[in-house]
Structure 1
Amino acid sequence: MDLSPAAVTACPANAFVYNLTLCACNPGLFLATDGCKPLTAVGGGGEEWKTSSGLEEQPTFLSNVLPLESIRRLTRSQEALLGATLVALIVWLAFCLSVRFGRLGDGETVWFRIRWWISRLDVYFYTRHWLEDNKMVVKRKTELGGAFSVASWILFVGLFSALLYEIIAKRTFEVHKVKPTNAPDLQQFDNDMEFNITTVSSMTCSHLRGPTVSIKCNHCRIPRDDFYISWHFVDLPKSPASAVGFQFNLTARDHIDDAHVSYVSGTLAPGSYRDGGLETLRGPDMNLLKINLFPTKFNYKHQLKIIQPLLHDYIPGSSFSDIGTLQTSFQNSRDGLLNITLIVRYLSDYIVEVDKQLVFGIVTFLAEIGGLSVTSLAVFLCLLSQCEARFKSLRFEDTVMRNIRRHKRAQRHWDKVRKYVSYTWGQSTVNLTNASN
């Protein structure tokens, strides 16, 4: 950036002056259209590497029918499902306990109706209530049995949901095997590979002998030796060669089955490999980027063979972390260089073979469901027996409610008879006032 002495004060923020008339950004910043920016301004961090084998889970019938991704986002973990189950249980049992404080009356109160319908929900425990000796066994549906029947359903549904979450999230696991290779095995790997690296800086293509380097290889065969690729940037008049980091992406795919892509990508900042400070790369020492390539065979994908790239190491080259030394470097022609070397190493002595195994088979799934249902019933059957053993009034609560309903039903029938007699023979003929009481 060429500035007259009067325009020196127009340097952007976080910049300094060198050679009296030129501006440069502080260490760790590069000149963008809206001023000096850090590496994070282009979406980089320095430790955010991403690696993928390219073998993402394919859509299944279950994922097409159910919104599995939405379920995963809502639940996140089994703890959330179990927590929701516990809350639902507490709310239901608290409701059942609260309605017991209402008066039964003559069977016309709302509390009696609620408690009666709760007793009708007794679908699990109505033949397993308290039994006294020398008494005829009678099927009983009680309010406590209805409350615990619904509670057992809530517990079963919650545990079953957690089981489904586990099946969806962890239904399979990968098994990796390593075996020695030979020349015929390696010759079967026929991949198309592409490497892109972008230098984050204010330089232009003229500095490069572009800031972005792209290397492509079709029908790549795994070589026996490592290979090195080097390139460099040089100072131009009024525009020094410098950078604050690199963005890279290396992909590989089978030349025939190109539906799956393995890759490694990320952002490299020199400061994150030293003391975590902001640095500007410049000078004769090389920036080394080491990448390992693993031959990987996916047996469960029709013997798919993909070269898996992994970033092994990054060694920053010459750099400056303070304004004074960087200002001096911009005025030193011997530092007018930015060297980058890519080292690709094929770890071809072994092949990684990947298989998948199911965590849950159909027998295991049915056994899990049976265990959950038995557990849900056993918990509340135990609670029911303990409650009826300790509180004698609970043993006969169904009798009390049935007697109220019988009395109410008998009263309605008697009222019908009284009205019929009164309508047929007249009020003066038959006086049923005392009888109705």
Structure 2
Amino acid sequence: MQRNRSGAGGACPARAFRFNGTLCACDPGLYMANGSCVGFEAGGEWVVSSGVSPSPTFLTTVIPIDSIKRFTQSQAILLEATLVFLLVWLALCLALRFTKFDGGRTAWFRIRWWLSRLDFYDTNHWLDDNKVVIKRKTELGGTFSVASWILFIGLLSALLYQIITKRSIEVHRVRPANAPDLLSFVNDLEFNITTISSMSCSHFQGPESLVIGIPGFIDYRVFPLSDYIQYKCQNTSSGPTISLKCNRCQIPRRDHFISWQFVDLPNDPVTAVGFQFNLSAKDHAQDRHVSFVSGAITSDTYTNNKPKTFRGPEANVLKIHLFPQAYNNLNNLKLIQPLFHDFISGTSFSEASDLQASLQDSKDGLVNTTLYISYLSDYIVEINKENMIGIVGFLADVGGLYAFSIVIFLYFLMQCEARIKKLRHEDTTMRNILRQKRAQRNWDKLRKFVMFTWGPNNLAMDENKSKRRHSLMIDSIHGIQALHRKKQPSRNNSTRPDVAEGCFRSSESKHDKLDTKEELEIHQSNMFSASQ
């Protein structure tokens, strides 16, 4: 963009040239802002919006859908995260298998044991022929069971994301339009266009008429603009902004043209380097939804030539298409959708010398702009939404994902146990270790109970007494056997005084040798049995 102002101290700012002796102007494609020449960047792509957002549902009110969309962007991220978690889990379980049991005394054994408890493939493990089917839980089965759950949860989250974000599709049907249908479209239209330049509203000459139809045709008409549209001009830092408003506008069946100009002032010629505009439409009865198109046009938008500055009698034409849309799913909302169709460049200059000559020519002293509105009213687009999936389809998808997750890791489990024989009996190994630990623990409890009840000294004394009793019993048994081996002469000889006296003396000698009362009682009982 350009602006003409006096150079301070006789010097023009950078990227500017002098014209008319004392005035300065910026090079083509630049405009004067705060005493320096700057360029205009379009700053992004064109934005077109129908103004109709998805209707809120229970899920959208409970779950932060917008945050999820910004974070995930697509299902690919969810599937990649699932794959990463799955590989990490399998790597951890593989590293865990390299640890040793060590008699079940380490924490690694307890971790591996509880991992085997997560196995729900307990009846699908390798079984020998002619064996009763029993439930077996192995570490490998627990690994694949958790892996199947990770895969299932990841796939289920991707399915839920698809249902939430794409639970319905928008169906467009085109039908021919007739006059009564078009009369039902009553919208409020607003068009704001900023001419990027160093000009102001003092250069502005407002439009006076509205042209309907193409000049030269039979339907060509000219009407006062004030009967249809209200306009105003407002100064901004980027240049003057023209606002055109039409309330309760209906769709006519012909094209419309609105033109306005910016003209030179003394020592202040007009130039422009681009246009930035926004055109919006909303239903007069339902102003909740607003459709719009917005964007910016620079001098090199449609050409690869050098930057240009617009100035001259030829008009810069902005062609806008409007077409009717009927939203049957939104209480028969009737909304006009604007679209930017084309830009026809007017008189422009890309060389500083040509621009300098134009600034000194009074015939080129204007920037002419024309808004060309074309109504595509032959057809009406009817819009409705249809659900992609119901409750039965959702349950079928969930069941399919679950079966896929279970079957794929069951296949891996059967292949591993069929090819590696050591894996067939790993549950027996772990159970045997637990049995040995349980038996050792119970035996330790019994020893502690006995030591707490009687103490270690009593245990030693009782042990000595039992040994002495055992030796006395053995001696008595030997004595009885010796008596039975002797020959008994007769019943009368058994009462001889010398035999009785010998036995009495023998008993007295042994009785003297006894130390305790318990030993005497044992010896007397043995003698009594021998005498019988």
Q: TM-score range by the shorter chain?
A: over 0.9
Task: Give the superposition deviation at 1:180.
Answer: 0.6
1:227 to 240, 248, 256: 256
2:150 matched to 1:154? yes
2:379 matched to 1:383? no
Which residue number corresponds to residue 435 of structure 1? none
2:429 matched to 1:400? yes
Which residue number corresponds to residue 6 of structure 2? 3
Which residue number corresponds to residue 163 of structure 1? 159
Task: Give the superposition deviation at 1:351.
Answer: 0.5
2:78 matched to 1:57? no
2:181 matched to 1:181? no
How many corresponding residue pairs? 424
Cα separation, partners in 2 of 1:213 and 1:423, compared to 1, 3 Å: closer
Which residue number corresponds to residue 83 of structure 2? 86
Which residue number corresponds to residue 272 of structure 1? 301
| Aligned 8 A contact 1:230 1:339 in 2 | yes
Task: Give the superposition deviation at 1:406.
Answer: 0.3
2:202 matched to 1:201? no
| Aligned 8 A contact 1:196 1:215 in 2 | yes
Task: Give the superposition deviation at 1:183.
Answer: 0.9
Which residue number corresponds to residue 486 of structure 2? none
1:318 to 321, 334, 347: 347
| Aligned 8 A contact 1:273 1:316 in 2 | no
CA RMSD of aligned residues (A): 1.6
Task: Give the superposition deviation at 1:343.
Answer: 0.8
Partner Cα distance (2:73, 2:149) in 1: 23
1:103 to 96, 100, 103: 100
1:248 to 261, 264, 277: 277
Cα separation, partners in 2 of 1:229 and 1:65, compared to 1, 3 Å: same
The secondary structure found in structure 1 opposite 2:60 is: helix
Partner Cα distance (2:57, 2:341) in 1: 35
| Aligned 8 A contact 2:59 2:164 in 1 | no
The secondary structure found in structure 2 opposite 1:263 is: strand
Cα separation, partners in 2 of 1:34 and 1:132, compared to 1, 3 Å: farther
Partner Cα distance (1:276, 1:51) in 2: 27
> Structure 2: which 5+ residue stretches go unaligned?
206-232, 234-239, 465-532
| Aligned 8 A contact 1:422 1:430 in 2 | no
Partner Cα distance (2:89, 2:136) in 1: 22
1:132 to 109, 118, 128: 128
Cα separation, partners in 2 of 1:276 and 1:382, compared to 1, 3 Å: farther
Partner Cα distance (1:34, 1:368) in 2: 66
| Aligned 8 A contact 2:186 2:249 in 1 | yes
Partner Cα distance (1:263, 1:404) in 2: 74
Cα separation, partners in 2 of 1:277 and 1:119, compared to 1, 3 Å: farther
Q: Higher relative CO (CA 8 A, sep ≥ 6), structure 1 or 2?
A: 1
Q: Which amino acid aligns with 2:10?
A: V
Which residue number corresponds to residue 118 of structure 2? 121
Partner Cα distance (2:463, 2:116) in 1: 41
Task: Give the superposition deviation at 1:34.
Answer: 5.8
Partner Cα distance (2:82, 2:463) in 1: 62
1:418 to 447, 456, 459: 447
Partner Cα distance (2:51, 2:204) in 1: 32
Partner Cα distance (1:391, 1:427) in 2: 53
The secondary structure found in structure 2 opposite 1:272 is: coil
1:356-387 C-alpha deviation (Å, 9 max, x unpaired): 11122211111111111111101100100101
Cα separation, partners in 2 of 1:366 and 1:239, compared to 1, 3 Å: same
2:328 matched to 1:299? yes
Please say which structure displays the higher CA radius of gyration. Answer: 2
| Aligned 8 A contact 1:49 1:264 in 2 | yes
> Structure 1: which 5+ residue stretches go unaligned?
432-437
Partner Cα distance (1:21, 1:48) in 2: 40
Which residue number corresponds to residue 434 of structure 1? none
| Aligned 8 A contact 2:281 2:291 in 1 | yes
The secondary structure found in structure 2 opposite 1:273 is: coil
2:245 matched to 1:216? yes
The secondary structure found in structure 1 opposite 2:338 is: strand
1:166-185 C-alpha deviation (Å, 9 max, x unpaired): 11222221111111111111
Cα separation, partners in 2 of 1:353 and 1:131, compared to 1, 3 Å: same
The secondary structure found in structure 1 opposite 2:334 is: strand
Identity of aligned residues (%): 59
What TM-score do you get using the length of structure 2 for normalisation? 0.77
Which residue number corresponds to residue 13 of structure 2? 12
Task: Give the superposition deviation at 1:62.
Answer: 1.1
Partner Cα distance (1:33, 1:63) in 2: 48
Structure 1 window deviating more from structure 2 (91-100 vs 62-71): it is: 62-71
